[in-house]
Amino acid sequence: MSRLVVVSNRVGPVKDAARAGGLAVALVDALRARGGLWYGWSGKTDKRAVDYASIEDAESLSLATVDLTPEEYEDYYNGFANRCLWPLFHYRIDLTAFDRRYYEGYRRVNAKFARVLYPLLRADDTIWVHDYHFLAFGNELRQMGAEQPIGFFLHIPFPAREVLAALPHHDAMVRGLFAYDVLGFQTEQDCERFRDYVVREAHGIANGDKLHCFGRTVTIRAFPIGIDTEGFADIAANDKDARRQFDKVTKGLGDRTQIVGVDRLDYTKGIAERFQAYERLLQEYPDTRREVSYLQIAAASRGEVLEYRQMREELDGLSGHINGTFGDFDWTPLRYLNKPLPRRALAGLYRASKIGLVTPLRDGMNLVAKEYVAAQDPEDPGVLILSRFAGASYQMPEAVIVNPYDSKGVADALQIARYMSLQERRERFEALMKRLRAEDVAQWRDDFMSTLATVTRRRTISAVS
């Protein structure tokens, strides 16, 4: 079997992969099985950073990482990736910074990553590149002469043609993607939007799952990412950290219904709109006062980016307003924490919460929705309320699906969840779990890898014959 080379902005962890979650476990498993290489940013900046990868062997695979200069980090990661592509691909043109300097820095850093990896490659490697940080990376490798199979998976949504067209270099970005052999998206809808752009904007030709354009052919397919469903359910039921967290949350809760939200602190997650919907619930359904308790974990993220800092201030204000208006000496309606919880503790928190509230305004997939369901007690499962704009909603129609912009609709959904019968909760839970088990993270990885192998085997055959 050929060696696997995984390329992603964040690398590892390897030893603690289980702690970091399904994606790290799935990638580490595949890398171990094939004696692979995981390549990306070291997480460090150094003003003397040069074109060099430090390589360490970690439990039958190798990690190769590159430092960035502070300027590269600013333009590539904070700038183009997180102030331009991230908001634009999540439909926030209003927050998108179209700065040429960022674009040029991004191109330079993609070229640097390619330049450093190229001499480390073997002729029979298979390369799997991840996410919006590396849209231009495959093309840089090809220009150096790389002929290996290269697949790309986009973890975030692919936007509608008119939205992408707002990006000054949209044509070059999409052209660059044709250097890959397989383009994987989270949902069929993302594939459809990509196809629409290529056919209508770039005059490409679609033929089944193939797209011909710019003199190249790529295969495009949806590979919805999953979680380690069995593993996570087992942690929620049996792990001692999960149990401790479960006890901590349920102690003192009495008959109150615990609502939980868990997100990175990101404007795409719709936390402000969620707070407003909760306020609406307390206003319009006075019977909920003292009867519900909402805990929102919003783990600080990308704090060097202005829009993230502004959002943090907004949420501080909204949460203070809700508690000031509705709280009492012996009841805090909303507990809002900016610190992250380890995944094992999260499993216990999910299980202790009768309602999981996942209402992003736009999200590639949203793994929290899947984890919440997997962590439930099958005998007495909680209810997932899920935004129609999360990629996960296409695989999870048995959740209570909501429009996150409609605060009254979300408040009503919370009431429906509070009063849902045990039988209905079980039926929804079983249907959701059936799919989560069948479409777990190992399945996602294997599907992508086998598609890439099949496509490139055909490519080799047709080149020879």
Ligand X SMILES: O=P(O)(O)OC[C@H]1O[C@H](O[C@H]2O[C@H](CO)[C@@H](O)[C@H](O)[C@H]2O)[C@H](O)[C@@H](O)[C@@H]1O
Ligand Y SMILES: O=c1ccn([C@@H]2O[C@H](COP(=O)(O)OP(=O)(O)O)[C@@H](O)[C@H]2O)c(=O)[nH]1
Q: Which of 133, 155, 169, 170 is catalytic?
A: 155
Answer yes or no: 363 catalytic. yes
Is the Cβ of residue 125 or residue 266 nearer to ligand Y in the bound state?
266
Least distance in angstroms from the C-beta of 247 to ligand X: 29
Is the Cβ of residue 148 or residue 268 nearer to ligand Y in the bound state?
268
Is the Cβ of residue 293 or residue 366 nearer to ligand X in the bound state?
366
Is the Cβ of residue 107 or residue 302 nearer to ligand X in the bound state?
302
* 321 binds, options ligand X, ligand Y, none, Cβ within 5 to 8 A by partner type: none
Q: Terminus-to-terminus CA distance in the chain, angstroms?
A: 23
Is the Cβ of residue 23 or residue 163 nearer to ligand X in the bound state?
23
* 88 binds, options ligand Y, ligand X, none, Cβ within 5 to 8 A by partner type: none
Answer yes or no: 170 catalytic. no
Least distance in angstroms from the C-beta of 132 to ligand X: 7
Positions in the binding site for ligand Y (CB under 6 A): 21, 262, 264, 297, 299, 340-341, 343, 346, 365-368, 371
* CA atoms of 288 and 413, how far apart (whole Å): 13
Positions in the binding site for ligand X (CB under 6 A): 10, 23, 131, 155-156, 225, 301-302, 363-367
CB-facing half-sphere around the CA of 290: CA atoms within 13 A = 4
Least distance in angstroms from the C-beta of 293 to ligand X: 27
Least distance in angstroms from the C-beta of 178 to ligand Y: 27
Residue pair 50/41 in contact by the 8 Å Cβ criterion: no
Which residue matches tokens 């600080």? 300
* 131 binds, options ligand Y, ligand X, none, Cβ within 5 to 8 A by partner type: ligand X
Q: Which of 131, 363, 412, 440 is catalytic?
A: 363
* 6 binds, options ligand X, ligand Y, none, Cβ within 5 to 8 A by partner type: none
Least distance in angstroms from the C-beta of 225 to ligand Y: 8
* CA atoms of 385 and 366, how far apart (whole Å): 13
* 274 binds, options ligand X, ligand Y, none, Cβ within 5 to 8 A by partner type: none
| Catalytic site positions | 155, 363
